[in-house]
């Protein structure tokens, strides 16, 4: 049976991803030195991710997070995004993903509309996050790094306390709460999308995927994070937004695939400079022009596929 038609298990998206990462680590099928998630602030390995998520989930429960609570996630890097969102889910709560570049008033409105009662933020997003908290119903803030008024995320990783199980039958529970126009996305939806990506994109162990996270919707960004974690690939978060930033990341990390917008695809297709490496698969987030697709394939030998 192909992964595209794999039955969706009655489990959370986090359960499935952690099981896949753990199985591969126990089998020794992934080189321990290969990072899972890379962004300008550092790297995170697959085994490190698998240890951090349940530990942070236990820490959140020790700090009063309960099943069904809503936790806002306002971070920029792919490492913090993956650990924060999955830790919230593993704690039995629902993560709501906020845009990294949002202004305080808008962020406060999103948190209030989503019903967020706690927040995970990063050092580079904390100024807006903490200003937004003053206008919200958030009771607790956890921060990657040292942020005044927030509990350091590393405190969540300290041992202690009993691990609580998640109630059975989570498939129809919300796995993500994303600001309009998305709304709630269930675990069943996220798992079905993950298996679709596994079956259609051809990402596998050893691939390196470059992603400008600001160019894709939050559910797609999380889907790509989960895909790379599950497949043993490396996801590289690119901080810039133009084609030059993406090409530089492809060169620096020897990427084998990259997520691009139609505009970025066109810029790459007609770039008259040297392309960094051969054979990079371009995964387009929207409808590309036939002219740009043909130019990428003929001039650079880079295959093009639709992401969605």
CATH of the domain at 218: 3.40.50.980
| Residue 230 covered by a domain | yes
Domain that holds residue 299: 188-306
Strands (E), 67-161: 70-74, 94-97, 118-122, 140-144, 151-152
Tokens at 190, concatenated: 């996220």
Residues 222 and 179 in one domain: no
| Same domain membership, residue 172 and residue 217 | no
Residue 103 lies in a domain: yes
270 falls within a domain: yes
Specify if 74 maps to a domain: yes
For range 126-133, the mean pLDDT: 97
| 200 part of a folded domain | yes
Q: What is the pTM of this model?
A: 0.91
Q: Largest Cα–Cα distance of the chain, in whole Å?
A: 59
Question: What gap in Å lies between CA 222 and CA 219, rounded to an integer?
Answer: 5
Res. 51: pLDDT tops 90: yes
Residues 70 and 171 in one domain: yes
Examine the fold and report which residue of 154, 184, 214 is the final residue of a domain before the chain moves on: 184
Q: Are residues 274 and 234 in the same domain?
A: yes
Last residue of a domain, one of 133, 162, 184: 184
Across the chain, mean pLDDT equals 88
Residue pair 223/194 in contact (Cβ under 8 Å)? The answer is yes
Is there a contact between 194 and 16 (Cβ–Cβ < 8 Å)? yes
Domain co-membership, 124 together with 167: yes
133 & 63 share domain: yes
Do 143 and 254 lie in a common domain? no
On whether the CB atoms of residues 208 and 234 are closer than 8 A, the answer is yes
Q: Going by DSSP bridges, is the β-strand pair 174-178/151-152 parallel, antiparallel, or unpaired?
A: unpaired
Same domain, 261 and 286: yes
Q: What mean pLDDT do residues 107-128 have?
A: 96
Does one domain contain both 179 and 76?
yes
d(CA 85, CA 71): 9
Indicate whether 32 belongs to any domain: no
- Closest by Cα among 121, 128, 159, 158 to 143: 121
Q: Span 226-230, mean pLDDT?
A: 95
Q: Does the residue 176 lie in any domain?
A: yes
pLDDT tens digits, 65-114 = 999 999 999 999 999 999 999 999 999 999 999 999 889 999 999 999 99
Q: In this predicted structure, what is the pLDDT of residue 180?
A: 73
Total of domains in the chain: 2
* Residue range 164-201, pLDDT digits in tens: 555 545 777 899 998 777 789 999 999 999 999 888 89
Tell me, yes or no, whether 295 lies in a domain. yes
Q: State residue 1's pLDDT score.
A: 35
User: Which domain-ending residue is among 143, 165, 184?
Assistant: 184
107 and 176, same domain (yes or no): yes
Q: Do 192 and 258 belong to one domain?
A: yes
Answer yes or no: do 178 and 198 share one domain: no
């Amino acid at each position: 049976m192909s992964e595209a038609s794999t039955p969706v298990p009655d489990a959370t998206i986090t359960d499935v991803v952690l099981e896949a990462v753990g199985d591969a680590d126990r089998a020794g099928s992934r080189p321990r030195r290969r990072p899972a998630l890379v962004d300008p602030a550092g790297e995170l390995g697959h085994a490190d991710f698998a240890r951090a998520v349940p530990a942070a989930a236990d820490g959140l429960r020790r700090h009063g997070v309960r099943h069904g609570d809503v936790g806002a996630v306002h971070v920029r890097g792919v490492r913090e995004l993956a650990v924060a969102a999955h830790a919230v889910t593993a704690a039995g709560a629902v993560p709501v993903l906020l845009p990294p570049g949002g202004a305080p008033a808008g962020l406060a409105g999103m948190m209030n509309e989503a019903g967020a009662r706690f927040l995970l933020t990063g050092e580079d997003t904390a100024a807006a996050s903490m200003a937004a908290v003053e206008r919200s119903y958030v009771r607790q803030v956890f921060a990657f790094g040292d942020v005044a008024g927030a509990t350091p995320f590393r405190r969540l990783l300290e041992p202690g306390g009993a691990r609580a199980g998640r109630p059975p039958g989570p498939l129809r529970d919300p796995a993500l709460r994303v600001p309009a126009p998305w709304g709630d996305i269930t675990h069943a939806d996220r798992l079905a999308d993950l298996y679709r990506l596994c079956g259609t994109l051809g990402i596998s162990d050893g691939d390196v995927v470059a992603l400008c996270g600001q160019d894709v919707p939050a559910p797609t960004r999380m889907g790509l994070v989960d895909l790379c974690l599950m497949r043993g690939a490396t996801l590289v978060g690119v901080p810039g937004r133009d084609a030059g930033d993406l090409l530089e990341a492809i060169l620096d990390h020897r990427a084998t695939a990259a997520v691009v917008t139609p505009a970025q695809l066109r810029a790459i297709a007609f770039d008259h400079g040297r392309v960094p490496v051969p054979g990079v698969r371009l995964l387009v987030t929207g409808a590309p022009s036939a002219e740009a697709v043909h130019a990428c394939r003929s001039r650079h030998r880079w295959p093009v596929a639709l992401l969605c």
